[in-house]
Amino acid sequence: MPLDHDDLNLRIKVNGVKESELWTHNSLYWKHRPRSEKRVVSPRDIGAHFYPSVGSSMLRIDEQMELTLTIDHPTAVGSLAPGELEFGLGRKNRFDDDKGLPEGVNEKDILSIQLSLSV
């Protein structure tokens, strides 16, 4: 799939969930990441809803159910709605996108990602 001026994310959704909490791991400890109540008006606003994750992220649904994702490289992780875990796979922008890429990114390499998902 060609990427042109866009971000590629993978969203995992658990149906029927009314409340969940996002946690990220930074190689030393787990950190709770609150869900932002800001509206996403345009695709440029979505960056405010994502957090860095070095290796693992967890979506805690209740005391008995957790969805844990382990990925082989650091990535951005977010939970835009209850029961959803979304993480970044790749970015391609030829210009300054005001999200931390002043020169833009124009990679042509094939995306190779190893991840582990556990419930």
Supply the range of the domain harboring residue 60. Answer: 6-118
Distance CA 104, CA 88 (A): 16
Task: Say whether pTM exceeds 0.85.
Answer: no
Look up residue 99 and give its two tokens: 């999200």
Q: Which amino acid is at 116?
A: S
pLDDT tens, position by position, 50-103? 888 888 899 999 888 888 888 888 888 888 888 998 888 776 666 665 666 666
Q: Report yes or no on 28 lying in a domain.
A: yes
Q: Report yes or no on 92 lying in a domain.
A: yes
Q: Report yes or no on 77 lying in a domain.
A: yes
What CATH number does the domain containing 36 carry?
2.70.98.30
Q: Report yes or no on 31 lying in a domain.
A: yes
Q: Report yes or no on 52 lying in a domain.
A: yes
Q: Report yes or no on 1 lying in a domain.
A: no
The residue length of the chain stands at 119
- Structure confidence at residue 29 (pLDDT): 84
Q: Report yes or no on 73 lying in a domain.
A: yes
Q: Chain-wide mean pLDDT for the chain?
A: 77
> How many structural domains does the chain have?
1
Q: Report yes or no on 105 lying in a domain.
A: yes
Contact between 26 and 70 (Cβ < 8 Å): no
